[in-house]
């Protein structure tokens, strides 16, 4: 019988593969939701209600029509639909998958999941920011700002929160494992 010796690099690569397999398994709900088109209307309604209330508090004079919020701007009105994607559900599920894929104890992972409401709150700030942007600058560069804030802003938020959570739990080896597996 041949006994296989695992080098440090092989162990690191194995840890990375385990993490990626677990991450994809925990991401299955995201794929199912995308495939079926399922929505959670109550979360969409909550997002709409909170956004509307924030806009009211800031004097934006919002008008609500179903899931459409309109605000006055310099040359008329501007409206946005608060749809299922506005809830940040993909970001929350991605963070869930990242946290659950780590080799921490279930208790530490459960504590990590407590950051999901923070992701939701950051998403609400993002929505409010887009209304504030349009109210202040009209539609100048709206698509660019929306794309950067929407896509990259939430992706960076998720990754930064996850890395901070990992470090606060004293688990820098996952970070080192990923870095060394990708850079050697």
Rounded alpha-carbon distances, angstroms, from residue 13 to 27, 88, 184:
21, 32, 10
142-183 confidence digits (pLDDT tens): 888 888 877 788 899 999 999 999 988 877 655 565 565 556
7-25 confidence digits (pLDDT tens): 777 777 888 888 899 999 9
Q: What is the mean pLDDT of residues 77-84?
A: 94
Residue closest to 175 by CA, chosen among 97, 165, 100, 25: 165
Domain ranges of the chain: 8-39+85-172
37-57 confidence digits (pLDDT tens): 999 999 999 999 999 999 999
Q: With a cut of 60, say whether residue 184 has pLDDT above it.
A: no
Q: Is the pTM of this model over 0.75?
A: yes
pLDDT score of 100: 95
Q: With a cut of 90, say whether residue 110 has pLDDT above it.
A: yes
The pLDDT mean for the chain works out to 88
Radius of gyration of the chain (CA): 21
Q: With a cut of 60, say whether residue 2 has pLDDT above it.
A: no
Confidence band (pLDDT; 50, 70, 90) for 5? low
**Torsion of the alpha carbons at 74, 75, 77 and 81, rounded to the nearest 10:** -90
169-180 confidence digits (pLDDT tens): 877 655 565 565
Residue closest to 97 by CA, chosen among 4, 12, 26, 20: 26
Q: How many CA atoms lie within 13 A of 16 on its CB side?
A: 15
pLDDT score of 11: 76
Q: With a cut of 60, say whether residue 1 has pLDDT above it.
A: no
């Amino acid at each position: 019988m041949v006994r296989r010796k695992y080098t440090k690099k092989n162990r690191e690569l194995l840890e990375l593969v385990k993490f990626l397999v677990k991450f994809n398994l925990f991401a299955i709900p995201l794929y199912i939701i995308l495939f079926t088109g399922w929505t959670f209307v109550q979360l969409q309604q909550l997002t709409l209600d909170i956004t509307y209330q924030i806009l009211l508090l800031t004097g934006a004079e919002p008008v609500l029509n179903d899931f459409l919020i309109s605000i006055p701007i310099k040359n008329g009105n501007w409206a946005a639909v608060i749809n299922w994607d506005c809830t940040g559900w993909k970001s929350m599920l991605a963070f869930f998958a990242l946290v659950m894929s780590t080799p921490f104890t279930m208790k530490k992972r459960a504590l990590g999941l407590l950051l999901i409401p923070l992701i939701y709150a950051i998403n609400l700030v993002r929505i409010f920011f887009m209304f504030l942007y349009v109210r202040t600058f009209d539609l100048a560069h709206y698509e660019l700002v929306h794309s950067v804030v929407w896509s990259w802003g939430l992706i960076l938020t998720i990754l930064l929160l996850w890395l901070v959570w990992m470090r606060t739990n004293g688990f820098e080896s996952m970070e080192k494992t990923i870095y060394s597996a990708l850079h050697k």
